[in-house]
A and B are shown apart, each in its own frame.
Chain A
Amino acid sequence: MIDISKETLEKIKKEGVHPKPRWYFLTKNYFFWLMFALTTILGGMAFGMIMFLAGDLDWDIYHYLGISLPKAILMSLPYLWIILLLLFLFITYYNFIHTRTGYRYRFVMIFFIGLFLSGLMGLGFYQYGWTETVDKQLRMRMPGYHHLVYSRESQWMHPEKGLLSGIIVKIKTEEKMIWLEDELGNQWNIDISQARFKGVSSIEQNMPIRIIGKKLSSNSFQAIEIRGDKGLKLGPGRRKMIKSN
């Protein structure tokens, strides 16, 4: 009978087979831990972006759009970032189970721990205002990004439904009129004679505002309520940014 072990040892010697060095396996293991950490951070950023985008919306105006709250929620969810978060969580799971003992843990457990860690980091990124910075950079540098996320600006770009936002370009105090430039660059004459102010005590030139009112013609609007960009349902991330400016 053949002695397989003996034959194998001879083959090992003959072919000069050697054990791979220990550092090779350690590096491989650390690589998966590093990737785990990296994807958790990216997941944290995605989580933070979800918080930022959801928190940045005005949730008290959906009825002006003639839709129900569930529909408003469905419309407003930042799907791009939710998909990215899920993707990062799956990659996190993949990396974790490839560490030395990662396979011992169940998918659900790893998934929820990943989600928890991403949530914690996301909260941190949101608190420090990093999510707003990322959002701003993406809007400036990534063409089409603004189509992928439902923003506060999109919410307020419905003049026919009584919602308008933009920057004040001119104020005529005696006439109680202001000129506003909306996101698309259109100029609007706004009658503010009957407007009440919410979250802002006065207005000034170059100030971003949001208006609830009534469209009178293609370029005129009657304001009922004027909201400033500060102090209104602002998440800590946005407040921090404004403070630093």
Chain B
Amino acid sequence: MVKISDCAQKTDAQLVALALKNQEYYYCIMKRYELALMGYIYKLSGMNKMEIEDVVQEVFILAYQNLNDYNTNFKFSSWIYRIAHNYTISVMRKNPKYYQNISWDEHDLEQLIESDFNLEENMLQKIDYEKLLHIIDSLPLKYKEVLLLKYLEEKDYQEISDILRKPIGTIGTLINRAKKILRKEIEKCKVGIKYD
């Protein structure tokens, strides 16, 4: 088996080219994205660990079957995230229980708020994260997925556009709308703020 150390210096595109000749190299690609995809699928669907492992395995097999479709002009991460995203959504559609609650923890929510909402620092500690989570959870999937990719996966607009197969302008609009809804909820009703 190819060792991870053999692949460390290689780019994703180089590894794809190698994996097409020798499938052992595909192990390096999978290893590189295994945890990131598990985290993403978890935050997107709220599946349990075993379900996530099954989904990730299917995603890797799908990606392997479609490896020749990867275009080196694009980021490999966007390409594999797209496959993971589409496959996860298709699993979620078959089993609506995954829509019931998203699985972002307090750290995720902090990251989301700190990155773009310009709230005062003392305010951050007062946020009722459970309530905020409830608000985010009530958002339509199209808003949740862009917030997740932008703030938690830290993807740029182009990457999000490539993952979701939507124009950059649409991504910007969706993010702005999602932020507007969140900001309104945070500031307007103060439901998210705990006062001492």
Contacts and interface: CB of A to CB of B under 8 A. Distances in A.
Contacts of B1: 6, 9
Given A13-B23, A19-B66, A5 B60 contact: yes
Interface in B149-196: 161, 165-170
A188 to B, nearest CB: 61
A20 B65 contact: yes
Interface of B: 1, 20, 23-24, 26-27, 30-31, 34, 38, 53, 56-57, 60-61, 64-69, 71, 161, 165-170
25 contacts: A2-B53, A4-B30, A4-B56, A4-B60, A6-B27, A7-B57, A8-B30, A8-B60, A9-B26, A9-B30, A11-B61, A12-B23, A12-B26, A12-B61, A17-B61, A19-B66, A20-B68, A20-B69, A25-B66, A97-B165, A100-B71, A103-B166, A104-B161, A105-B167, A106-B169
A21 interface: yes
Nearest to B38: A4
Interface string A89-100: 000000001001
Contact of A106 (B23, B67, B165, B167): B167
Interface of A: 2, 4-9, 11-13, 17-22, 24-25, 97, 100, 103-106
A5 B34 contact: yes
Contacts of B166: 103
Most buried by B among A6, A11, A18, A19: A19
B65 A9 contact: no
Contacts of B169: 106
Contact of A11 (B57, B66, B170): B57
A104 B30 contact: no
Contacts of B67: 19
A11 B62 CA distance: 12
Nearest to B165: A103
A8 to B, nearest CB: 5
Nearest to A23: B68
Given A6-B27, A9-B27, A106 B61 contact: no
